[in-house]
Structure 1
Amino acid sequence: MPFRIRASFRNSSSIGGCRKDAGGQALKYSAFISYNHRDKREAIRLHRALERYVVPKRLRGRDSPLGLLQKRLPPFFRDRDELASSSDLAAAVREGLEQSAFLIVICSPNSAASRWVNEEIRTFVAMGRRDRIRLIVVDGEPLSPDPARNCIPPAILEGAEGEPLAADARPGQDGREGARLKVLAALLGVPYDELRQREAQRRHRRLAIVAAASTLGFAVTTGLAIAAVIARQQAEEARRIAEARTMTAERTLGFVKGMFRVSDPSVAQGEGDKITAREVVDRGARMMETGLDKEPAAKADLGVTLAEVYNALGLYDRGYAIVAGTLKLPHGQPDVHVRQWTTLAETQAQLGQTALAIENFRRASTLLNHPGVTPSMRSHVLFSLGQALSGDGEEARGDDLMREALAIDRALKEEGRADAARDLEGLGYNAFYAGRHAEARRLVTEALAIRTEVEGPNSPSVTDNRNMLANVAYAEGDLKGAEALYRGNLARDERVLGPMHPDLGITLNNLARMLIDQRRFDEAAPLLERAIILVERQRGKEADDLVYFTSNLALVRAAQGRMAEADALFGRAAGIARKVDHPMLGPVLTDRAALWCRMGHTAEGLALTSEAAKAVARDHADTAWRVAWVENVRGGCLIAGGRRPEGMALVRKSLPSLEKRWAANTMIGAAARSRLTGAAR
């Protein structure tokens, strides 16, 4: 079911067991990383990121292309490291390839022209593992007619059918993080969108944490500034004044940070369109570089605040540079150190450096008992560490820390209400991903009530909470409840984000999907048409979200009897899905096969169900109803093609899983049951 959720959050030790080769021998490496020496920096970066990756706890013990998954993946072979002591280069390379489950090729004009990269590819293909090759583009253009720009090694194309699929680490494409996740999804044998969504959710929720930390930093910096300009004998009075103003300062900066979250950092907004949020922060950063040299604590604290604002704008590299620079300032104040390590960790988490983030959250937590650390700061660090551990597979420990943070914030009463909402939200997300839906609903509902009162109904955090409640309702089959929540979010998004914000397209699609599942196709059509226009304008005609939007519109057109248009839309969705290795390829092919059989093209439809079954088995093997849906559609095609007994057997076999997930009055539920009578194909 093509459906896109906009939610919020998610994101040594034992070695995983690797898949055996044809002879039954256990393979030593997850993958052989092939690259030209001019791309060594990219290879090292990828190698480190893959070997530091921690497999989510819920995936451990599951079978995968690498064997049974454990906390860490088996090592990766990068020849400049692995061959340092080898006296036989050729033999060592071949052995490395033989002992690797996958071949990862770092693609650039350098590697395309490299004799050794091409030979490594040919050797791996000769071992019968062409389907285990994954490409990552770092420079140049795939299949460019200009040899100086082409980045695909010729050996990849030798004997291949169609264009190769590649993750694209270049700016403006998948980016390094997206490319890394695509490779990891293949190694783990899970849908790419699942890993991507966990990362996107974690980034989205971190913004709320950043806002809380920044308000604290603003208040502390304000107090230091007041104390510095008043005579010594008045310093204590100034501090009392600063403390009295803390609450107001926090609320004011929290509002400003909330504005940053929904602003486009590249476009000036407001009357006159004079200046952007990015320009304001850049100006502050330049002023900080030449000021406060005699007050290192104040300079460090201000730097942390600027880094947090950069993070809130999505400019994580800039935020990292600022906060890392503050670590060089000698000041000896533990409370400022707590903010520095915490903000550094949050920035590292945004950049995908999970292990380093956890290490620095732990470093901040060792200073929490210092008298200068406020209760609010203490709860912030505990929550952040708990959230990071939850995303790293330690949900139980993460829950404990978040509950400890919640107890601190509840004790602060009114002052701690916003942070209490953050804690409840984090606990709610953990409960949802653990399948404890009733608990998740209770926690997120309480967080939503606080957010609405403290931040106002148009806060992005309010929308986040409502999205999660919609997710819970959808998971429990409450389509009406999910629809109501998405309608409310659509109205808020249009007011807060404006009519052209890309997140609006996701909300339009989600609401439309609720209507499609209820067979209210005519109501869904204009929402999807608008979503497609919006995303095409903002992100181009091959944005991966269009897989959801166009395939959903195809279902609508098919229900409206506009078969040719529906087929063209399914074709477009499948084309994008193949190009970006999208996990919804299997479901899209399944729905297109149903359309073809309905149109009388039963032979073509049956062939398409075979392709769909392979894609669904690869990307959704653990989702029983998706596998059953392919069987149900195939059964309908067999019935339509005159093979009724065979088709009816498949339809009957598929029904238990489909009935468990889909009520009889839903689109899929009704279609699945109607095939028993041959009324649908």
Structure 2
Amino acid sequence: MSKAGYDAFISCNHAAERAVARALQRTTRRLGRPWYRLSGLRVFHDDTSLPASAGLWSSLEAALRASRTFVPLASPASAASPWLRREVAWWRENRSADRFVIVRPGKAIARDPVAGDFDRDTTTALPEDLRGWFVEEPHWVNLGEDGRHDFRGKAATVAAAIRGIPKDDLLSEDMRQQRRLISLLTGLLVLALVGAATAVWQGRIAASERDRAEQQARLATSRSLAAQAQYLRDRHPTWRACTPPPPTKRSPASPPFSPSRCTSRPCSPAMRTR
């Protein structure tokens, strides 16, 4: 199939089966798709895929021509729809019955084994255009009355028929792709956790280095101030004389040093010898 074509064309009565058709389109596109692709199958449904154009039938005919499989949702409402009957007539005229997959939401289809055709009395879900077309019993999928019970499994049957592969192979491939996606997400989560732990560790190291640098800066500042003070004491004897001596053991008769004994003027000789 070319990139511009479709794997399947879903036809239905919008008033009766729009929700079922959308769910079928969404599920068949996702089954078995690789994790890096948006969809595994290209499925046309006029409610979501039809472009805005002036000619409705010309757009539908172009989509039919580009599709490999025709998937009608069979119901009494669809059988009475002129659009579905026109699409069925086009497919019968231009395509093979082998690529015709009937999906029936209800139980309005019955096969007459004697006549080799659908039972005309009980089959009300198919249009008259399909009478006598199928040499053998066609492939159909019964969604049930409500279309909810095991919908994914029945949609997988439709998707497998569209792909032309066994249903078990499709489900196995879908499970394999899910496991690959889980493994990828797990790996990304582990990388994210390792990155976060590394960032915290580096932040703590940076904080420790910053504290050490600040401590060294304070130590350097104190040493610089001490060196300046020592320099001033060496150049100014008056300041050196007024500087308190280092603490030593003194006799009880010696009075303690008091800064008030020194003034801005040089100390007297008597005070210096004391």
Instruction: Please give the TM-score of this superposition, normalised by the length of structure 2.
Output: 0.54
Q: Tell me the C-alpha RMSD between the 2 structures.
A: 3.5
Q: 1:40 to 1:193 in 2, by over 3 A?
A: same
Give deviations 1:452-484, integer Å, cap 9, x for gaps: xxxxxxxxxxxxxxxxxxxxxxxxxxxxxxxxx
| 1:102 and 2:69 matched | yes
Query: Equivalent of 1:167, from 141, 157, 163?
Result: 141
| Residue matched to 1:158 | 132
Q: Specify the code of the residue in structure 1 equivalent to 2:5.
A: K
Q: Per-residue deviation at 1:146?
A: 4.1
Query: Is the CA contact (8 Å cut-off) linking 2:31 and 2:156 kept in structure 1?
Result: no
Q: What is the rounded CA distance, in whole Å, between the counterparts of 1:165 and 1:396 in structure 2? A: 37
Write the mapping of 1:370-449 to structure 2, written as runs, cut at 5 A.
391=178, 393-394=180-181, 396-397=183-184, 400=187
Q: 1:152 to 1:124 in 2, by over 3 A?
A: same
Q: Specify the code of the residue in structure 1 equivalent to 2:169.
A: E
User: Among the aligned pairs, what percent are the same residue?
Assistant: 23
Q: What is the rounded CA distance, in whole Å, between the counterparts of 2:145 and 2:190 in structure 1? A: 39
Q: Per-residue deviation at 1:181?
A: 0.1
Query: Is the CA contact (8 Å cut-off) linking 1:55 and 1:392 kept in structure 2?
Result: no
| Residue matched to 2:96 | 129
Secondary structure at the aligned position of 1:107 is classed as coil
Write the mapping of 1:392-541 to structure 2, written as runs, cut at 5 A.
393-394=180-181, 396-397=183-184, 400=187
| Residue matched to 1:191 | 166
Q: What is the rounded CA distance, in whole Å, between the counterparts of 1:197 and 1:390 in structure 2? A: 9
Query: Is the CA contact (8 Å cut-off) linking 1:135 and 1:167 kept in structure 2?
Result: yes
Q: 1:83 to 1:189 in 2, by over 3 A?
A: closer
Q: What is the rounded CA distance, in whole Å, between the counterparts of 1:397 and 1:137 in structure 2? A: 38
| 1:42 and 2:20 matched | yes
Q: What is the rounded CA distance, in whole Å, between the counterparts of 1:395 and 1:110 in structure 2? A: 42
Q: Specify the code of the residue in structure 2 equivalent to 1:163.
A: E
Q: What is the rounded CA distance, in whole Å, between the counterparts of 1:180 and 1:142 in structure 2? A: 19
Q: Per-residue deviation at 1:35?
A: 0.6
Q: Per-residue deviation at 1:197?
A: 6.0
| 1:33 and 2:36 matched | no
| Residue matched to 2:79 | 112
Give deviations 1:163-185, integer Å, cap 9, x for gaps: 21111111699842122101211
Secondary structure at the aligned position of 1:32 is classed as strand
Q: 1:41 to 1:94 in 2, by over 3 A?
A: same
Q: What is the rounded CA distance, in whole Å, between the counterparts of 2:177 and 2:190 in structure 1? A: 13
Stretches of structure 2 lacking an aligned partner (at least 5 in a row): 111-118, 192-274
Q: Per-residue deviation at 1:91?
A: 1.2
Q: Per-residue deviation at 1:140?
A: 3.3
Q: What is the rounded CA distance, in whole Å, between the counterparts of 1:104 and 1:184 in structure 2? A: 10
Query: Is the CA contact (8 Å cut-off) linking 1:107 and 1:151 kept in structure 2?
Result: yes
| Residue matched to 1:141 | 108
Moved over 6 A (4+): 401-404
Q: What is the rounded CA distance, in whole Å, between the counterparts of 1:52 and 1:157 in structure 2? A: 33
Secondary structure at the aligned position of 1:104 is classed as strand
Q: Per-residue deviation at 1:54?
A: 5.0
Q: 1:56 to 1:155 in 2, by over 3 A?
A: farther
Instruction: Please give the TM-score of this superposition, normalised by the length of structure 1.
Output: 0.24
Q: 1:145 to 1:123 in 2, by over 3 A?
A: closer
Q: Specify the code of the residue in structure 1 equivalent to 2:53.
A: S
Q: Specify the code of the residue in structure 2 equivalent to 1:96.
A: A
* Higher Cα Rg, which structure: 2
Query: Equivalent of 1:177, from 138, 149, 152?
Result: 152
Q: Per-residue deviation at 1:33?
A: 0.9
